[in-house]
A and B are shown apart, each in its own frame.
Chain A
Amino acid sequence: MTILSGVSFSVGGGEALILRAPNGAGKTTLLRCLAGLTPPVSGEIGFGFDDVAYAAHADGLKAQLSVAENLRFWAEVYGTRDIAPAVEAFSLSALMGRRAMHLSAGQKRRLSLARLLLTGRSLWALDEPTVSLDAEAVGWFAQAVTAHLEIGGAAIIATHIDLGLPSARVLELSQFRHDPDTTSGAFDEAFL
């Protein structure tokens, strides 16, 4: 089923792109395409999936493992040695020994976002990353994204709130809503 058509954008190093659209308009679908999980019906994605760090609605944490074990697992998967910067960025150090099942929703989200710093990948594809975060944690998240952009990374973020990223461009997805009658020339591409 085609959901979006004619989507075309480019994101360079140091740039952030905010995806905005009403619920169900295809933000998640687009991000899953960019992460290589859902192949696009047609079109071209101009970067390797090995550059993308994807963060979904679900936190992807193991409830029976501690915060430290969850982080160390992802660090090992991505071949990262040092988990300290990720712990600091989302101020998780007080929670390190606690099992993920005993965390609040916002703490889980922070742990899930800290994983991004461990991936060492240049393009972050984030699906509503600030859900259940408090204002302070949204600030930490914005700092983490800014730091990532400063070292030449890029971010594509689907969100409904203002993240406090002044440099970010906004892409309204609702303009690309697929209309079954006008399929001529429809293409779907993104370049990095």
Chain B
Amino acid sequence: MLTISDHQFTSRLFTGTGKFSDQDMMLAAIKQSQSQLVTLAMKRIDLHTNHDNLLAPLQSLGVKLLPNTAGARNAKEAIFAAHLAYEMLGTKWIKLEIHPDHKYLMPDPIETLLAAKQLCDEGFVVMPYVHADPVLCRRLEDVGCAAVMPLGSPIGSNQGLATETFLKIIIEQAQVPVIIDAGIGSPSQACHAMEMGADAVLVNTAIASSAQPEKMAQCFAQAVITGRQAYEAGLGPVNRQALATSPLTGFLGQSV
């Protein structure tokens, strides 16, 4: 059981709601993923289009909502977005993401730390999206973040765990849950992240951009369960040399 702040999750696969071909497909995929925490963004209403009710069907799935601050370019805008989310959804849970760079969407560490401190002081349950920086993750933990969400590779890139070495350090040091966010492109990568000891993974693009999102969501669900079980079972040590799994008594040579 994974606990973040005062909330318990039986599923360690968190999902995003973006990039699906339509809302029905998104809902079907989330259902198959068994995710219990899903991310949302916020936008000014377009008065010239229909207002799809995104929330009611998500709430009917029984998932907890995690609004994000996507679009914020600095701490001030992210804090504003968190207040907006609280007013809109009545939740103090916030995925803090500040990325002024549109090409690679790299999170700004300085602005993220500033915003995290203020939002934690205001009682928000802050889950910051950050680069896989072990020092920054400790600083974010120190100011009261409920979890840290280091990236595996750039958002939406499906490049996998390019930051693996640093993710391992973060997992080793963290006293709060570590959720590997961004870049996980396949179930095997999600499984690997869980085998490394990540507390959860957040997957969006890899499911949404699959030819069969529902099936892929199931695959991720299975992979995350398997990876977690493998971590709990304890992986065997890695050796540089061969270590025989069968007795080397040389009996074949003796029979000649």
Tell me if chain B binds chain A.
no
